[in-house]
Each structure stands twice: as structure tokens, then as C-alpha cells.
Amino acid sequence: MVVRRLKLHDGQKAIVEHPARFKVAACGRRFGKTMLAGYWLAMRDEHSAVAGWPVAWFAPTYKILLDAWDAITRSLAPAITRANKTEQRIELVTGGKVDFWTLEDPDAGRGRRYRRVVIDEAAHARRLKEAWERAISPTLTDYRGEAWFISTPNGMNYFHELYRRGDDDAFPEWASFHLPSTANPYLPAEEIEDKRAILPELVFRQEYLAEFVVFGAGLVKPEMLIDGQPPAGQRPVLGVDLAISSKDGADYTAIVAMSRSADGTVYIHEAERFRGRFREVLDRIQAAAARHNPTIVAIEETQFQAAVIQELARTTRLPVRGVRPDRDKVTRFLPLLTRYEQGMVRHDPARVPAWFRDELLAFPDGEHDDGVDAASHAFAVSTPAVYAYESLSSRAEVPL
């Protein structure tokens, strides 16, 4: 049996030739992602189905799954010994198997062992996070398997979070790819431009440019996000939104350093987020304070957060202030939103990362809002009266 190599365009080569174990590809319409993923899964090399390995294809719905079933069945026809559409399994003369699963059941694939998996149109799977963490990821353990997440974007959901891992040094096995429809040289350029002319801008950007955009009532608009360096010597406050957990998928602890000038301009000096247990959270807050010499460290004071405040007050001389939220997250954010709408907020481009921008654009409907909440806490205490603190003891009462 001879397996023919698929002729790949440069955009497809960038994905398939990258050595990462987990790959997340945000692709525009008609890029060629489904054909490429089927080729990689079933027949590309010694780790594919034709080499005797069990592999699996996951899709959000049965209708989407059928397209992949038909394409892979046709490609593997000379090597198939059994293809059962009801069981959604293809068996090959080499001993390899291709299973097909829909993610309408988040436990799909549980108990199986796979060398490779593809999650097709991953951004459209409503329970992707649950399915990946609880069912699909464990299927790769025995063979130290690989996974591809391929999709056109669909807002700031869990697929977007996985995409961000490719830019995060904390996830060295992950790689991300942004490949618009224009990366496919076989698509007529005039056809894409026709789509640009007739589609709403956000729809075109998502479906053809493969950008992560937010539809609907996003409170912060892209044009409101302005870069700018904080004035030298201006001491910020720190806003802290706590989440004591190191588990993948949990909420983040976020720390935002913020100051205000005499004219009312708000400066975001730095934003960071991380997952960590109690001791690491304490260490990271102290490290941020050492970098910024803040006038106040504002921490939401509810339930377990009170223990963090008490421990910092007991063991450090940080100007810790508990903030008791008596309103919902959106209402708390509105005063800072007004500054964004007035064009009076500046982000330090070197120290305010992309995830913070993404949270702002997605709020209040995004996957995470930890950074937004930390910024709300910081703004709540960063009044002009804060600067009287510089002449006070680090344990003094701050006039607000």
C-alpha cells in the first residue's frame, strides 16, 4: 500500500512541521484546516492511523463530524477492513483505528487510548473545557499522544484560552497558529475581498481573518485602549483579585498596578495573573509591592481572602487595605469604564500583556475577568487623596 504525501501550502506546513505536542490553530474559512488535520491524523507518518495507531476525531456536533468521516473514509479506502458509521469507527489492515466522537457528550472518548486526537471546530464546542480536561486529555497518557485544536474563532472562550498557551512560556509543549483565509494561496483573492465588502466587519474579521473578536455588548471598545508610559516617580496602588488554586482551569489571582495623575488620567503600570496556592499568592503580592512601592494594596475581603489580608498585615509592613464589594462586577467596573470612554486610561505597553486587553474587550461575557476585577479594586482606592500617603507611615490610615 502506497500513501501519497499531501501537497501542502506554506500555511499548512507551518502547522504540521512544528514539533509542539499540542497545537492550537485559529484558521479562517477555507484555509484547508480539516483536510490537513485528517491527513495528519490518519496517514502522514509513523504516528498516524495507517502506521497501526489508534487515533480519534472529535467535533462539536454530528453534522460537522460527518464531513470528516466522509473525507477520511475516502482517503483511507484501500486500507480499510471495516468502517461502521453507527459505531463511528474505521479499522485498517495495519491494525490502526480511527474513532469519531461528538462533543455533545463531554465524556466522549473516556477510557480509550489514543496516539493522536483532533478537536475540529473546537471554538464551537460548548463544553470544550470539560471534555478536554476530564475525558480527552487522559486518553493521550499511555502513548504520550498529541492533540490538535483546529477552528475558526468564536469569541473569547476556552478555545481562545488554549490559543494563548502557545504564547505562554509556562506551556512549553503548546504552540499556536493564526492563519487567515488569505494564507491559502488557492483561494481567489477577489472572492475574499467580495466577502469583506458584504459582511459586517466583525463577522469578516472572525470568519476570514481568524481574529478573536467579541460580538454584542462589549463595554470596552478597541479604540479605547491606548498605550502610554506612566510619569516617572508616580507611585501606584495595587488592586488584587484573589483565587487560591493552582489547578489548570481555575480562576486566576490577578494583580494590577494603577496610578492617577493630577489631571485624572489613569495609568496601568503593570498587570499579571497566575494560579497559585496560599504561600505563592503571598510571595507574588510582596514581589509586586517590591517592584512598585505602592501606596495601597487593595484586596477584596471576602471569605478566604481575609486570611491573606491578615497574614500580610501580620508578617509585612505593606499598606494592605481590605475592600468589601457591595455591588456586582459590572457596577464596580463602571467608574473605570467612564475613564476608558473619555480616553483617559493609558497602558504601559511593556508591562500590560495581551490577556489583560482581551479581558477588557470581552467583559462582562468573557471566560475570565480576574484582571478587570483587580483593576476595579485599584481604581476604587486610587483617588487623589491617596497621594497624601507618601508623607505617612506605611502603617498609617489612608485618608479616602
CB atoms within 10 A of CB 335: 11
Q: Say how far residue 178 (Cα) sits from the centre of its chain.
A: 13
Q: Give the model's confidence band at 2: pLDDT under 50 very low, under 70 low, under 90 confident, else very high.
A: low
Q: Give the model's confidence band at 298: pLDDT under 50 very low, under 70 low, under 90 confident, else very high.
A: very high
In angstroms, what CA-CA distances link 45 with 1, 77, 173, 315?
14, 17, 20, 58
User: With the C-alpha atoms ordered 313, 317, 323, 329, is the resulting torsion angle positive or negative?
Assistant: negative
Say how far apart CA 149 and CA 136 lie, in whole Å: 12
Evaluate if pTM is beyond 0.85: no
Q: Say how far residue 56 (Cα) sits from the centre of its chain.
A: 24
Given a cut of 70, whether residue 216 has pLDDT beyond it is no
Rounded mean pLDDT of the chain?
A: 87
Could you tell me which residues come within 8 angstroms of residue 88 by beta carbon, excluding any fewer than 6 positions away? 65, 69, 99, 100, 101
Q: How many Å is the maximal CA-CA distance in the chain? A: 82
Q: Give the model's confidence band at 203: pLDDT under 50 very low, under 70 low, under 90 confident, else very high.
A: confident
Which helix H or strand E contains 237, and what residues bound it?
strand 237-241
Given a cut of 50, whether residue 150 has pLDDT beyond it is yes
Q: Give the model's confidence band at 386: pLDDT under 50 very low, under 70 low, under 90 confident, else very high.
A: very low
CATH numbers and ranges of domains, the chain:
10-207 (3.40.50.300), 222-391 (3.30.420.240)
* pLDDT recorded at residue 246: 58
Say how far apart CA 58 and CA 56 lie, in whole Å: 7
| Residue 236 near residue 259 (C-beta atoms within 8 A) | yes
CB atoms within 10 A of CB 50: 22
| Residue 317 near residue 394 (C-beta atoms within 8 A) | yes
Given a cut of 90, whether residue 100 has pLDDT beyond it is yes
Q: Which residue has the cell 506605611?
A: 394
> Residue 298 is placed in which grid cell?
487593595
What is the percentage of the chain residues whose pLDDT exceeds 90?
Answer: 58
Strand ranges for 71-169 from DSSP E: 80-84, 89-92, 97-102, 116-120, 146-151
Q: Which residues of 312-334 are buried (b: 16+ CB within 10 A; e: fewer)?
A: beeeeebbbbbbeeeeeeeebbe
Tell which wins on pLDDT, 367 or 358: 358
What is the percentage of the chain residues whose pLDDT exceeds 70?
Answer: 90
Given a cut of 80, whether residue 113 has pLDDT beyond it is yes
Residue 309, classified by CB atoms within 10 Å of its CB into exposed (0-12), middle (13-18) or buried (19+), is: buried
Cα angle, residue 332 at apex, residues 384 and 345 outer, rounded to 5°: 50
| Residue 89 near residue 76 (C-beta atoms within 8 A) | no
| Residue 113 near residue 144 (C-beta atoms within 8 A) | no
CB atoms within 10 A of CB 138: 15
Q: Which residue has the cell 488554549?
A: 162
Give the residue from 325, 233, 310 showing the smallest Cα distance to 278.
310
> Residue 23 is placed in which grid cell?
497545537
Phi and psi at 226, nearest 5°, equal: -120, 130
pLDDT in tens, 307-334: 888 899 999 999 999 887 766 788 888 8
Cα angle, residue 215 at apex, residues 361 and 160 outer, rounded to 5°: 60
Q: Give the model's confidence band at 299: pLDDT under 50 very low, under 70 low, under 90 confident, else very high.
A: very high
Say how far apart CA 16 and CA 238 lie, in whole Å: 43
> Residue 25 is placed in which grid cell?
490553530
Tell which wins on pLDDT, 13 or 306: 13
* pLDDT recorded at residue 141: 95
- Quick one: average pLDDT of 5-33? 91
Say how far apart CA 263 and CA 384 lie, in whole Å: 10
Say how far apart CA 298 and CA 320 lie, in whole Å: 6
> Residue 398 is placed in which grid cell?
489612608
pLDDT in tens, 233-259: 889 999 999 987 656 556 889 999 999
Say how far apart CA 96 and CA 50 lie, in whole Å: 6
